[in-house]
Amino acid sequence: MNEIRFDGRVAVVTGAGGGLGRAHALLLAARGAAVVVNDLGGSLNGEGGDDAAASKVVREIEAAGGRALASFDDIAAPEGAQRMVDAAAQAFGRVDILVNNAGILRDKTLAKMAPADFEAVVRVHLLGSAWCSRAVLPLMQQQQYGRIVMTTSAAGLYGNFGQSNYGAAKLGVVGLMNSLALEAGKFGIRVNTVAPVALTRMTEGLPFARTLDEATPERVAAGVAWLVSEQCDFSGVVLAAGAGYFSTVRIVEGPGVHLPADQITPEAVAARWAAISAGEGARPFANAGAALLAAFSR
């Protein structure tokens, strides 16, 4: 394959002041993109703010000969996301790529979690991804081209103790991807999701973090760069990426059973549970309509 380049393209990366976002921004810039480096500069739990993180990444890009712009907008608010995108369009004339990467953590079991902590995490991860995507859509639709990447997590795909807020938000962005891919596809916009495994400040406190020496953000960024490239012409894919490992993740539905109308009882469901829960022959569906059609046609 020819080298994947982004010359003439403009990318917006949220949460790009460090970790995964920084790696995404640096790689896209090294491959020719002008990059808007967005980071509020807050703490891991989303408190405070500091311009230093985003500004430092911008200086790194410029020192290497690239073009970059710092953004300190709070993308969890629709007006903040819009200001960031407006600044990108004003500085570089267009927006071709959006990487929704920004996130915070406020871990605690749901029974002990304050409502504000649940809402704050959902606001940044899920609503932030929605507001940023909403802000770039008019530009991408006018261009008849765009690439959007969401960021999910194993905590959302499979669950993790003490992360109900984070897990809910991270699976939420997969649902956002699925619908947005259908809505934006006719405009040449492709929407996909990365499920990263990397040693960053969000994972350094985990018990298994010491085993992640090879799980650098740069090894995830390679997968993201593929997803936002012109050559990537598909939508609706979740790409697991970390430590050199890449795989796609699918939500599938088993073949199930169809009970006769006069036998639809709790007892019948229990009696047929082995067949209902069987995984052999499971398959993904392109959209909700296809899943419903399959259910009613059995």
Please give the average pLDDT of every successive group of 10 residues along the chain, which has 298 residues: 95 97 98 98 78 97 98 97 98 98 97 98 98 98 98 96 97 98 98 86 50 80 98 98 94 95 97 96 94 81
Both 193 and 218 in one domain: the answer is: yes
Indicate whether 92 belongs to any domain. yes
If we measure between CA atoms, which residue out of 12, 32, 189 comes closest to residue 84? Answer: 12
Both 288 and 144 in one domain: the answer is: no
Indicate whether 1 belongs to any domain. no
Both 117 and 195 in one domain: the answer is: yes
What is the predicted pLDDT for the residue at 204? 52
CA separation for the pair 223, 242 (Å, rounded)? 9
What is the predicted pLDDT for the residue at 183? 98
Place of tokens 């003439």: 8
Token pair of 65 as six digits: 């000969």
CA separation for the pair 122, 193 (Å, rounded)? 17
Indicate whether 81 belongs to any domain. yes
* Long-range pairs for 76-82: beta carbons < 8 A, 24 or more residues apart: 76/102, 76/123, 76/124, 76/127, 76/128, 76/131, 77/131, 78/131, 78/134, 78/135, 80/131, 81/128, 81/131, 81/132, 81/134, 81/135, 82/131, 82/135
158 has catalytic annotation? no
Both 69 and 215 in one domain: the answer is: yes
Indicate whether 254 belongs to any domain. no
Backbone angles phi, psi at 163, to 5 degrees: -130, 45
What is the predicted pLDDT for the residue at 298? 59
Spell out the residues 6+ positions from residue 157 whose beta carbon is closer than 8 angstroms to its own: 170, 171, 174, 195, 238, 249
What is the predicted pLDDT for the residue at 47? 79
What is the predicted pLDDT for the residue at 205? 54
What is the predicted pLDDT for the residue at 155? 95
Both 184 and 71 in one domain: the answer is: yes
Indicate whether 4 belongs to any domain. no
**Domain tally, the chain:** 2
- Please name the helix (run of DSSP H) or strand (run of DSSP E) that holds residue 160, with its range, or none: none
Q: Which residues pair with 10 in a beta bridge?
A: 34
Both 112 and 167 in one domain: the answer is: yes
What is the predicted pLDDT for the residue at 192? 98
CA separation for the pair 249, 80 (Å, rounded)? 31
Backbone angles phi, psi at 100, to 5 degrees: -80, 100
Both 209 and 280 in one domain: the answer is: no
Both 232 and 290 in one domain: the answer is: no
Q: Which residues pair with 97 in a beta bridge?
A: 11, 147
Both 195 and 267 in one domain: the answer is: no
What is the predicted pLDDT for the residue at 212? 57
Token pair of 290 as six digits: 């296809």
Domain extent for 290: 261-296
pTM (whole model) above 0.85: yes
Give the HSE-up count for residue 136: Cα atoms under 13 Å, Cβ half-sphere: 36
CATH of the domain at 229: 3.40.50.720
